[in-house]
Structure 1
Amino acid sequence: MKTSVVLILFLCCCCQISLAQPTSVKLENIKVDAPFEMPEITIPNFANLPNYDIRNYGAIAGDKEKITHAIETAIEKATQQGGTVVIPTGEWLTKKIHLKSNVNLHISEGATLLFSADPKDYLPAVFSTWEGLECYNYSPLIYAFGIKNIAITGKGTIKAQMDVWRKWFPRPQAHMESIKNLYNWAQDGVPVENRNMVNDTSNLRPQFVQFNRCENILIEDIKIRNSPFWTVHLYLSKNIVVRNIDVYAHGHNNDGIDPEMSQNILIENCVFDQGDDAVAIKSGRNPEGWRLQTPSKNIVIRNCTMKDGHQLLAIGSELSGGIENILVENCEAGVGAKLMHLLFIKTNERMGGYVKNVYFKNIKAHDLRDGILGIDTDVLYQWRTLVPTRIKKTTPIQNVYLENIVTTNGKFISKINGNPSEPVKNILLKNVQLENASEDKNQHKFVEGFQIQ
């Protein structure tokens, strides 16, 4: 018995010593100008730290098992005091990658990190989400949970193979029943560890990159090609810079970047070519957002280009934790983009939460399928008939400012469908131009304080 106690104490002490090891990762603070109080953003700097080339740990091109093992080993080495895991030039086929603190995953120029098409390579299930509801699901292809000082950098490419995920795009009855169960479990307060969505019929596709409950994050320069689901999911995380990335993902639900219940974020100089929204800001669905009580806020998006997709910026529809202090500036939707809206705020009678202090300025676009600004408080998608409304919570929406917007073709400048019991308040359009409108330029229901200058 004494021997066992001594051994346990020894192991505990070793763990404490290991956890207490100093890291050499330097932190730098980024100042960002915004029309609201914007904290400095802390991100890691991996300059002058060791490199861990996966070839030195047994990676052989074409051998998925050895490559996966080599990446895991290199991450274990790098996390100890900080360092960069290098994916060298060439194509490297891998299973899931789980990052650890103080690690920079660097995709070298000319390198492609190609992710397996086999869903079994993303098991066991991890703590993740599906459309604003927490659950255990297939691991995101690149996943980080509860860590800090992390980066994905380099001028190479990360790419998803879509053979199986594409087959999961449709929403057959079995899939709908599964998400119905998930919704009801969340409503009933079922613990997340009991919400396992991996089975033969749910087919909930994983995110490509997910930072879950992390802080001090840099994503820089990489190209992303294809995605099973949302492309970059920033969940319950803070202090994030995403810059100079190039995203092409034209599958179902292929948003470019989804900040959800995350704070202090800069997204700049990025190119989006999407099957869905370029950036979609969210904050949990119904009871999840109410339970976690963490708004998405202090988010700046600037100098980005949208080549194709639905919205330049979508807010919602999952916004039950609230969304505030958002700035989008100096962005452009190029010829042929044919977006639905430039800014679309969407919610419904079940969401609650709030939206306030949204600034949208210096934006150029060409052809819009709908209009510049859309606000709709009755967007329910499949949930309208899938489950009944249990609790009604409307969403206050106020303080939305658009300035210096120039668009060539579209249906309208603004279309606002407010809630009669919670009108949309304080909307200002200043120098917002639509050259060719096919409908009335401003179409409003239940709006208070709308101004045009």
Structure 2
Amino acid sequence: MITNKNIALKTISFLGVFSLLLLSCGKQVSSVSETDPWKKMELIVKSIPETRFVNKTYNVNDFGAIADGKTMNTQAFEKAIKECAANGGGKVLVPNGKYLTGPIHLESNVNLHLEDQAEILFSTNPKDYPLIHTSWEGTELMNHSPLIYAKNKTNVAITGKGTLNGQANNTNWWPWCGSKRYGWDKGQPSQHDPLNRDNLVEMAEKNVPVAERIFGEGHYLRPNFIEFFECNTVLVKDITVVNAPFWILHPLKSNNVIIDGVTVNSHGPNNDGCDPEYSQNVIIKNCTFNTGDDCIAIKSGRDADGRRVGIPSKNIIVQNCKMIDGHGGVVMGSEITAGVNNVYVENCVMDSPELDRAIRIKTNSKRGGTTEDIYVRNIEVGTVKECVLRVTMFYDIYGSQVGNYIPAIKNISLENVKVKNGGKFGILADGYKESPIENITFKDVTIAKVDSVYSLKNVKGVNFINTYINGKKMESIKN
């Protein structure tokens, strides 16, 4: 006789066994991902949601935009974006032609889409960029709006094969960096003036509220180009970006970001191609970077402001990208105070006599923080100027970058990397005696030509597995 009690007991028994199986499977998945970081990367990729938009189109021309390259279209873009968002979202279409505008502020559920021959020309008049909450070199402040900006938005995109042109050059934006190379001359204002960059850093050290760190006009801190601030589920796809004032693609405190098929060609000062900062679950794939600074630079805040925010950048994935000119191919730092971990770089090509390094980690004892679990594989390096791998705890471009926050760096792996000309060093690494750089692994790495195999200071454990440099098989260094 089958009773409800029997059924209940059998159900409980089945659920118990099923739960154990689930737990067992979960442990297996966890175990696999822990022993094989690339399996963990695959799980991260699968977990990142993609943007989805309502099938409605809002043509900016219908809102008064004029594609003559001269008429200001700021209001037309604003109206089209707000109308699109108010009606549940969709595509804001920028047809072929040249559109001059001030800053573009995106809304949730909006895809700003550029047709193939569409070009958005951004105003070079600082007065067109109002004060908003943003960030500058790892420190939050009130400054000129980025050229394209989204804050606290979800499901937002910039797509299409058109061009975003910041129009920056040696007569606007770039001279603010204070370098004669970029048009600055003695007696002209720049970010180096006492009330500008150094004042911002001092405010952060004194914990001045962000709302009171008011800069903007008269302070010469250039705006970022594209900034997603505290956004979730973001896509940037297929666009070309040229002539940026400052950092180019800047996901800030954002999650689930996909940057796919983007071309960056901008050789101005601080023209980093992509700077994920305090951000997690970011995929950068199929992109080309030809830049005046780092091609990709993973950040997590500067000094006191980084400790205040305390959000590490993690689960950053770089796939199938091409790096041409730049200070580094894939870089972590120097604004790295909250830490960086779980970085995966695969199937990339890095090649230019004006590319300084392939992989770089840069920090110092004012930054602090922990950088760990950096995995690189299947990389083709033609020529780099300085070295294949550069790791330093003494980065000091501005001077006086010494403090009481000793950083930690560990677990860096390069696998199946082929280098024709590695420049001066295969590995150039310097750590602190009390905090040595730990566990560098080169597996199946071949560097055909390099001036010196390595220069190491306070590095603990360099593992060479089937690695050849200058034709010689390398032996591991245990210390």
TM-score by length of 1: 0.88
Secondary structure, in 3 states, of the residue corresponding to 2:73?
helix
Structure 1 position 63, deviation (Å): 7.3
- Tell me how far apart the structure 2 counterparts of residues 173 and 442 of structure 1 sit (CA, whole Å): 42
1:411-450 Cα deviation digits (max 9, x unpaired): 11101111111001111111222111112x0211101121
The question of 1:67 aligning with 2:76 is answered no
**1:121 counterpart (118, 125, 128):** 128
Structure 1 position 381, deviation (Å): 1.3
Structure 1 position 331, deviation (Å): 0.2
Contact kept? 1:95, 1:122, Cα under 8 Å: yes
Q: Look up the equivalent residue of 2:113 and give its one-letter code.
A: H
The question of 1:158 aligning with 2:164 is answered yes
**2:175 counterpart (164, 167, 177):** 167
- Tell me how far apart the structure 2 counterparts of residues 175 and 115 of structure 1 sit (CA, whole Å): 21
Instruction: Describe the shift of the 1:63–1:379 C-alpha distance in structure 2 as closer, same or farther (beyond 3 A).
Output: closer
The question of 1:327 aligning with 2:333 is answered no
Q: Look up the equivalent residue of 1:193 and give its one-letter code.
A: A
5+ residue gaps, structure 2, are: 1-36, 180-187, 466-479
Matched residue, 1:381: 397
**1:249 counterpart (266, 282, 306):** 266
Structure 1 position 66, deviation (Å): 5.6
Q: Look up the equivalent residue of 1:425 and give its one-letter code.
A: E
- Tell me how far apart the structure 2 counterparts of residues 253 and 219 of structure 1 sit (CA, whole Å): 21
**2:322 counterpart (286, 302, 305):** 305
Structure 1 position 35, deviation (Å): 4.1
Q: Look up the equivalent residue of 1:289 and give its one-letter code.
A: G
Matched residue, 1:267: 284
**1:350 counterpart (339, 363, 366):** 366
- Tell me how far apart the structure 2 counterparts of residues 181 and 66 of structure 1 sit (CA, whole Å): 34
Matched residue, 1:190: 208
Matched residue, 1:408: 420
5+ residue gaps, structure 1, are: 1-31
Secondary structure, in 3 states, of the residue corresponding to 1:289?
helix
**2:436 counterpart (404, 414, 423):** 423
- Tell me how far apart the structure 1 counterparts of residues 40 and 462 of structure 2 sit (CA, whole Å): 20
How much identity, in percent, do the aligned residues show? 38
Q: Look up the equivalent residue of 1:371 and give its one-letter code.
A: C
1:93-128 Cα deviation digits (max 9, x unpaired): 1111011111100011110011111111112x1111
Which one has the largest radius of gyration?
Answer: 2
Q: Look up the equivalent residue of 1:266 and give its one-letter code.
A: I
CA-based RMSD: 1.7
- Tell me how far apart the structure 1 counterparts of residues 320 and 52 of structure 2 sit (CA, whole Å): 23
| Higher percent of residues as strand | 1
Q: Look up the equivalent residue of 2:394 and give its one-letter code.
A: D
Secondary structure, in 3 states, of the residue corresponding to 2:449?
strand
1:288-316 Cα deviation digits (max 9, x unpaired): 11111110000110000112212111101
Instruction: Describe the shift of the 1:112–1:147 C-alpha distance in structure 2 as closer, same or farther (beyond 3 A).
Output: same
Contact kept? 2:72, 2:100, Cα under 8 Å: no
Contact kept? 2:72, 2:102, Cα under 8 Å: no
The question of 1:86 aligning with 2:93 is answered yes
The question of 1:214 aligning with 2:234 is answered no
Structure 1 position 34, deviation (Å): 4.7
Secondary structure, in 3 states, of the residue corresponding to 1:73?
helix
Structure 1 position 45, deviation (Å): 1.8
Matched residue, 2:50: 43
Contact kept? 1:34, 1:300, Cα under 8 Å: no
Q: Look up the equivalent residue of 1:358 and give its one-letter code.
A: I
Q: Look up the equivalent residue of 1:90 and give its one-letter code.
A: G
Contact kept? 2:63, 2:79, Cα under 8 Å: yes
- Tell me how far apart the structure 1 counterparts of residues 232 and 70 of structure 2 sit (CA, whole Å): 30
Structure 1 position 84, deviation (Å): 0.8
Structure 1 position 167, deviation (Å): 2.3
